[in-house]
C-alpha cells in the first residue's frame, strides 16, 4: 500500500486538508508561524477536529474507532471541493478507511471498584462528569486524585470521600455503572442515612411548645452545650449552632425562613458551605441586609477584614473606599466595629492580631476576599469567641447576590 498515490491513508487526508503537508506528503515546517489554514472551505465545527487531528498525527497518536469514522465522514463530505484540486475519489474511505497509525483503544466502561488504597473510579470522557469529580476533590479532605497514567480516579477510603463519591454516582445513576457489591452496600447505607438524617445527627429544633431543644445529643456534646444558651434569640442560636456541630431541624428551618426572609440563607448556612460558596464568588448575605443581620444576631465585636488597600484610621480625614467597610461603619447596632486590612503597614498578618486582641465570647468576622476567607477559616478554627466568618461581595450594589 505504500506506493498508493498521495493522499491515500486517512492520516494523509487529514494532514492535507489541514495544510500541514505539501502535495508530495512531506510535512511543512512553518505552519506553527501562521494561523490555521486549510486547502478546503471547512465548516466551523470541522476546523477543531482537523486541527487537533493534525497535531495528534504529527505526534504519532492514532485515532480511536469513533474518531476514525468521523474523520472519514468529514473528508468525504468535501468530495466536490477535493475533486476540483485532486483527481482522486474519496468514496473508498467510507467502507473501511485505511490508516497508518494503530487505532487507540478507549475505555468506555463506568466502573467503581476497590483497591488496596481505597476506591477506583473509571468512566469515558464526559465534560460534566469530569467537572463534578474535580468539584468533589475541592470538597474532599484529601486523597481524591486523578491518575493520568492509568486514567482513573483514586479515592482514599474515608467517610467524607465516600459520601462525595456516593453523591456523584447518584447524580449519574442513569449511566450503566458496574459497582463493586461491597461499595454498593456502603452507598445504600449512605443514601438511607442521608434520607433519614435527623435519626442520626445532633440537631437544634423547636419542640411542641416552640422552644429550642437539642436532639440526638451525647455526653460529650452535652458538656460543650453547657455554654450554649437555648434562651437566646432563634436567629442567633441558628447562626451559632454550627460551631457545636449541630444541624438545624425541619421545624426551626421553616420558622427561620418565614421570619427572616431576606437573611435566612446566611443564618442557616454552615461555615463549610460559606467557604465553598465563597470559592465560587457566591454569598448568602447582601450588604444591603447587613444592618438587619447584625441586629438579628447581636455580637460584641463586628470585624471586617479587607484585602485591598483602603483608607482608614491611619489616614485621618479621609473616607474608606470599600463598600463593605462603609456599610459596617454606617450601621447603628450594639457592639464594637473594627476594620483590619489583611496585612497592615508592618506586614503583620491579620489573624495574629485577631488571636491576641479579641477576647470576647461573641465575634463575627466579615471578609470580602476568598483568599482571606480560606485563611481565616483555617487559622482560626478553635476560637470560642468566633461565631462565624461571613463572606460578602464588597462591590455589592444592594441587590441580593446569589449564584453569580
Model pLDDT for residues 21-51, shown as the tens digit of each residue: 988 888 887 656 667 889 999 999 999 999 9
Do 137 and 169 share a domain, yes or no? yes
Residue 325 sits in which domain range? 260-391
Verify that 156 and 36 share a domain, yes or no: no
Cell of 215: 436532639
pLDDT band at 312, cuts 50/70/90? Answer: very low
Helices (H), 271-389: 271-279, 290-297, 323-330, 350-357, 370-379
Question: Are 386 and 265 members of one domain?
Answer: yes
Q: Residue 255 pLDDT > 80, yes or no?
A: yes
Confidence bin at 263 (pLDDT 50/70/90): very high
Run of H or E residues at 366: strand 363-367
Cell of 122: 473509571
Please report whether residue 141 resides in a domain.
yes
Last residue of a domain, one of 175, 195, 215: 195
158 & 83 share domain: no
Count of domains in the chain?
3
When the pLDDT of each residue in the chain is averaged and rounded to a whole number, the result is: 85
- Whether 352 is in a domain gets the answer yes
Instruction: Flag whether 239 is in a domain.
Output: no
Q: Tell me: do 85 and 152 sit in the same domain.
A: no
What's the rounded Cα separation, in Å, for the pair 307 and 78? Answer: 57
Q: Tell me which of 132-136, 173-177, 227-231, 342-346 is least confident.
A: 342-346
Task: Tell which of 195, 230, 247 closes a domain.
Answer: 195
Boundary of a domain, candidates 165, 195, 225? 195
The CATH number that applies at residue 268 is 3.40.50
The answer to whether residues 122 and 90 belong to one domain is no
Closest CA to 109 of 98, 120, 117, 118: 120
Taking a C-beta distance cutoff of 8 angstroms, is the pair 190, 241 a contact? no
pTM value surpassing 0.75: no
**277 and 381 within one domain:** yes
Domain membership flag for residue 145: yes
Residue 235 lies in a domain: no
Q: What is the DSSP string of 212-249?
A: EEEES--HHHHHHGGG--TTS-HHHHHHHHGGGTPEEP
Amino acid at each position: 500500500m505504500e506506493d498508493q498515490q498521495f493522499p491515500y491513508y486517512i492520516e494523509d487526508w487529514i494532514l492535507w486538508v489541514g495544510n500541514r503537508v505539501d502535495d508530495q506528503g512531506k510535512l511543512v515546517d512553518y505552519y506553527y508561524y501562521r494561523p490555521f489554514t486549510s486547502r478546503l472551505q471547512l465548516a466551523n465545527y470541522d476546523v477543531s477536529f482537523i486541527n487537533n487531528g493534525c497535531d495528534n498525527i504529527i505526534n504519532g497518536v492514532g485515532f480511536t474507532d469513533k474518531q476514525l469514522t468521523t474523520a472519514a465522514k468529514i473528508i468525504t463530505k468535501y468530495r466536490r471541493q477535493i475533486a476540483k484540486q485532486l483527481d482522486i475519489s474519496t468514496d473508498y474511505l467510507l467502507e473501511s478507511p485505511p490508516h497508518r497509525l494503530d487505532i487507540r483503544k478507549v475505555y468506555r466502561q463506568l466502573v467503581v471498584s476497590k483497591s488496596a488504597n481505597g476506591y477506583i473510579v473509571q468512566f469515558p470522557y464526559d465534560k460534566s462528569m469530569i467537572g463534578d469529580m474535580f468539584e468533589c476533590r475541592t470538597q474532599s479532605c484529601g486523597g481524591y486524585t486523578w491518575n493520568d497514567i492509568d486514567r482513573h480516579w483514586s479515592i482514599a477510603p474515608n467517610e467524607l470521600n465516600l459520601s462525595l463519591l456516593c453523591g456523584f454516582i447518584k447524580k449519574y445513576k442513569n449511566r450503566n455503572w458496574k459497582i463493586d457489591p461491597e461499595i454498593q452496600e456502603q452507598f445504600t447505607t449512605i443514601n438511607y442515612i442521608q434520607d433519614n438524617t435527623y435519626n442520626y445527627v445532633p440537631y437544634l429544633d423547636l419542640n411542641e411548645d416552640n422552644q429550642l431543644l437539642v436532639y440526638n445529643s451525647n455526653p460529650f456534646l452535652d458538656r460543650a452545650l453547657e455554654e450554649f444558651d437555648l434562651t437566646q434569640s432563634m436567629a442567633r442560636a441558628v447562626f451559632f449552632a454550627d460551631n457545636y456541630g449541630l444541624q438545624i431541624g425541619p421545624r426551626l428551618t421553616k420558622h427561620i425562613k418565614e421570619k427572616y426572609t431576606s437573611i435566612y440563607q446566611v443564618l442557616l448556612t454552615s461555615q463549610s458551605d460559606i467557604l465553598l460558596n465563597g470559592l465560587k464568588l457566591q454569598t448568602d448575605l447582601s450588604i444591603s441586609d447587613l444592618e438587619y443581620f447584625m441586629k438579628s444576631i447581636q455580637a460584641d465585636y463586628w470585624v471586617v477584614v479587607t484585602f485591598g488597600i483602603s483608607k482608614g484610621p491611619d489616614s485621618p480625614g479621609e473616607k474608606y473606599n470599600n463598600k463593605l467597610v462603609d456599610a459596617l461603619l454606617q450601621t447603628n447596632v450594639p457592639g464594637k466595629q473594627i476594620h483590619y486590612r489583611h496585612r497592615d503597614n508592618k506586614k503583620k498578618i491579620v489573624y495574629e492580631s485577631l488571636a491576641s486582641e479579641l477576647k470576647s465570647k461573641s465575634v463575627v468576622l466579615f471578609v470580602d476576599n476568598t483568599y482571606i476567607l480560606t485563611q481565616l477559616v483555617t487559622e482560626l478554627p478553635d476560637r470560642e469567641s468566633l461565631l462565624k466568618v461571613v463572606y460578602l461581595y464588597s462591590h455589592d450594589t444592594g441587590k441580593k447576590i446569589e449564584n453569580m
